Structure 1
Amino acid sequence: MKEKLPTTFQCLFCNHENSVSVSIEKKSGVGNLQCKVCGQTFQTNINYLSAPVDVYADWIDACDAVAKQAAEGNVDTARSTNRMGRMPTAHNQEDDDGDGGFIEHDEPDAEGEYAD
């Protein structure tokens, strides 16, 4: 009896079991990985022999490579704390009709005039 390879895996970031699923798109040659708990995603090139476990292994290798670069000081892994504030909005005196700048559309849709 042939054993099936796994298709769901443990997440490297949030450590939840069976939270990572892999989809294989053989026609486009792409493997996609996503954690349903923390939202981590990964994409890699695949070939016609690739299985979900191969995409997961590529993800592990990519994470290891980034960790090694960070340990050597080649990658800035700290996220920027400089955040943009709220974007300024243009405000004219003419727009003080109480609708907040939204366009009101009171006419019935053209599609609504046709009966099936």
Structure 2
Amino acid sequence: MGKRKSRTPKPTPRKPPKLETEFSCPFCNHRDAVGCLIDLKERYAKVECRICTESYVTKAHPLTAPVDVYAEWIDACEDANEGVVRRRCRRRLGDDADDDCQDYL
């Protein structure tokens, strides 16, 4: 006689985690204030903050995701700020601690 087949459920394939579509703004630091619009017909992608209305527009292709457009915006912000000299911290009257004040180049 033959053995009976066991009726164990088949393992279901794991779904990949969903990527975020709402991001924090690099200018006003509000959480979930930046939304992304991708128009494949016109081939552009736009991220815009609903609070401070800062925006960034770039080219889009069929594989473009909102995370990619946001990361490109952050990279463009870092490139724009490269070489900018930060103001030096001024000491307050009666403040002798050098820990609070750092010199930037």
TM category, shorter: 0.5 to 0.7
Residues 19-50 of structure 1 show CA distances to partners (whole Å, capped at 9, x for unaligned) of: 00001011111101110111111101121100
How do residues 93-112 of structure 1 correspond to structure 2 at under 5 angstroms?
A: none
Aligned residues with identical type, % of pairs: 39
Question: Which amino acid letter does the alignment assign opposite residue 65 of structure 1?
Answer: D
Segments of structure 1 that go 5 or more residues without pairing to the other structure are 72-116
How do residues 23-62 of structure 1 correspond to structure 2 at under 5 angstroms?
A: 23-62=37-76
Query: 2:21 matched to 1:12?
Result: no
1:8 counterpart SS class:
coil
Question: Which amino acid letter does the alignment assign opposite residue 17 of structure 1?
Answer: R
Which residue of 67, 85, 101 maps to 2:81?
A: 67
| Runs of 4+ with deviation above 4 angstroms | none
Residue 16 of structure 2 is matched in structure 1 by 2
> How far 1:2 moved relative to its partner?
2.0
More helix by share: 1
Aligned residues: 71
Whole-angstrom CA distance in 2 between matches of 1:3 and 1:24: 21
Higher relative contact order (CA 8 A, sep 6+): 2
- Normalised by the length of structure 1, the TM-score is 0.58
